[in-house]
Chain A
Amino acid sequence: DTEVTQTPKHLVMGMTNKKSLKCEQHMGHRAMYWYKQKAKKPPELMFVYSYEKLSINESVPSRFSPECPNSSLLNLHLHALQPEDSALYLCASSLTSGRGYEQYFGPGTRLTVT
Chain B
Amino acid sequence: TQLLEQSPQFLSIQEGENLTVYCNSSSVFSSLQWYRQEPGEGPVLLVTVVTGGEVKKLKRLTFQFGDARKDSSLHITAAQPGDTGLYLCAGARADSWGKLQFGAGTQVVVTP
Contact = CB atoms under 8 A, between A and B. Distances in A.
A108 B93 contact: no
Nearest to A9: B40
Given A40-B107, A88-B40, A99 B100 contact: no
Contacts of B48: 100, 102
B63 interface: no
A97 B100 CA distance: 10
Nearest to A110: B40
Given A40-B105, A42-B104, A104 B45 contact: yes
A42 B30 contact: no
A34 to B, nearest CB: 12
Interface size class of A (residues with CB under 8 A): 20 to 34
Chain B contact residues, majority secondary structure: loop
A4 B94 CA distance: 25
A103 B42 contact: no
A42 B103 CA distance: 7
B96 interface: yes
A31 B98 contact: yes
A100 B92 contact: yes
A69 to B, nearest CB: 20
A106 B88 CA distance: 15
Given A42-B88, A55-B98, 5 more contacts: A48-B97, A48-B99, A100-B48, A107-B41, A107-B42
Interface of A: 2, 4, 6, 31, 33, 40-43, 45, 48, 50, 55-56, 88, 90, 92, 94, 97-108, 110
